């Protein structure tokens, strides 16, 4: 119960900031520094992976899709990203899998409350 209350209170503050952050990413994408926009898009990618695809918060949708390539949504992500960059998901997973393995090994994903 304590975790749910803390999560609710955190979301009351985080969601409006997330919406503002999304609008800022759009603005930066057109008028700002590429590095700042890329960092924002990467964070949004991880957020979508954790919430929509029930993945790890420290992993991208592309890397997660490669790990779960037998699932329909993962096949769709791999197919789509291959249209823009061949083997994108495989390369994302190769880059991110050591981080996933380390976090799981050290149990850094365990509850904090």
Question: pLDDT at position 113, please?
Answer: 66
Give yes or no for residue 10 having a pLDDT over 70: yes
Residues 63-86: pLDDT tens digits? 999 999 999 999 999 999 999 999
Q: Would you state the pLDDT for residue 98?
A: 96
Give residue 87's region: left, alpha or beta (phi > 0; psi -120 to 50): left
Instruction: Flag whether 26 is in a domain.
Output: yes
- Give the whole-number percent of the chain exceeding pLDDT 90: 65
Q: Is residue 16 part of a domain?
A: yes
Domain boundaries, position 50: 2-105
How many domains would you assign to the chain? Answer: 1
Q: Which of 65, 67, 60, 59 is nearest to 103 (CA)?
A: 59
Question: What is the pTM (predicted TM-score) of this model?
Answer: 0.80
Asked if the structure places residue 113 within a domain, the reply is no
Residue 45 pLDDT > 70: yes
Distance (Å, whole) CA 103 – CA 81:
26
81 within a domain of the structure (yes/no): yes
Q: Has residue 89 been placed in a domain?
A: yes
Does 110 fall in a domain? no
87 is a domain residue: yes
Q: What is the predicted pLDDT for the residue at 42?
A: 94
């Amino acid at each position: 119960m304590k975790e749910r209350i803390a999560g609710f209170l955190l979301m009351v503050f985080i969601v409006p900031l997330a919406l503002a952050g999304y609008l800022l990413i759009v603005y930066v994408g057109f008028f700002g520094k590429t590095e700042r926009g890329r960092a924002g898009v990467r964070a949004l990618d991880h957020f979508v992976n954790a919430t929509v695809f029930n993945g790890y918060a420290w992993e991208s949708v592309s890397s997660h899709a490669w790990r779960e390539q037998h699932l329909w949504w993962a096949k769709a992500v791999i197919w789509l990203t291959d249209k823009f960059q061949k083997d994108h998901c495989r390369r994302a997973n190769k880059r991110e899998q050591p981080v996933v393995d380390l976090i799981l090994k050290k149990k850094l994903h365990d509850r904090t409350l």
